Amino acid sequence: MSRQIINTANAPAAIGPYSQAVRAGNTVYFSGQIPLDPATGEIVAGDVAAQARRAFDNLKAVAEAAGGSLDRIVRLGLYLTDLGEFAKVNAVMQEYFQAPFPARSTIEVSGLPKGAAFEVDAVMILD
């Protein structure tokens, strides 16, 4: 099966040896998106809600570059450095996704790249 590499300037460039996303058949696998501003490469200012918005905006940009949209995402992985912030992230997620919601896991981690408080990855199905 061939793989198509997905890349867009509307989301932060990879900060390591990986692609923003890879399409295999009708499935798109997203690398983790942290709250980097695509223009500056820096973490956005603000609390975990501001960071989640930027990360979801980055995810949306990659989804669109792959020919999809957030409503085509079937699975999300959410990573927080503090699960005490879970309610804030849930509220932000509802700004970007409507029912039926994608499947999701939420995991507390000890650290994320560049000191981020939030990261999201995903799987999307295209027609």
Domain of 70: which CATH number? 3.30.1330.40
Domain count, the chain: 1
Residue 36's domain comprises 3-125
Q: What is the 3-state secondary structure (H, E, C) of 54-90?
A: HHHHHHHHHHHHCCCCHHHEEEEEEEECCHHHHHHHH
The per-residue pLDDT for range 2-58, each reduced to its tens digit, is: 899 999 999 999 989 999 999 999 999 999 999 999 999 999 999 999 999 999 999
Cis peptide before 100 (omega within 30 of 0): yes
Distance CA 70, CA 80 (A): 20
The per-residue pLDDT for range 43-102, each reduced to its tens digit, is: 999 999 999 999 999 999 999 999 999 999 999 999 999 999 999 999 999 999 999 999
Quickly count: other Cβ atoms within 10 Å of residue 117's Cβ: 24
Residue 1 — pLDDT band, cuts 50, 70, 90?
A: confident
pTM of the shown model: 0.97
At 23 the three-state DSSP class reads strand
Distance CA 9, CA 126 (A): 21
